[in-house]
Amino acid sequence: MQMNQKRILVPVDFSRVSEVCMNHAYSIANKIGADIYLLHLVNKVEDLEDGRSRLATFADERQVV
């Protein structure tokens, strides 16, 4: 059975390990033409903007839309 996945889901908490995982996902996605979906959960609504900002920075650094 051939699987032709074009989506990669990466849970992130912005730790160093998480950053390494995001970079690996980015590399793989470029090789196979996949989309990356980052999942970041917050405990409090007050933390939401920080997560958005960090995700935007990650995307900007890699020229991702």
Q: How far apart are CA 32 and CA 4, in angstroms?
A: 10
Q: List average pLDDT for each run of 10 residues in the chain, which is 65 residues long.
A: 78 85 90 89 84 81 64
Record the pTM: 0.67
Task: Please report, for the chain, the start and end positions of each structural domain, with discontinuous segments joined by +.
Answer: 7-61
Quote the pLDDT of residue 52: 86
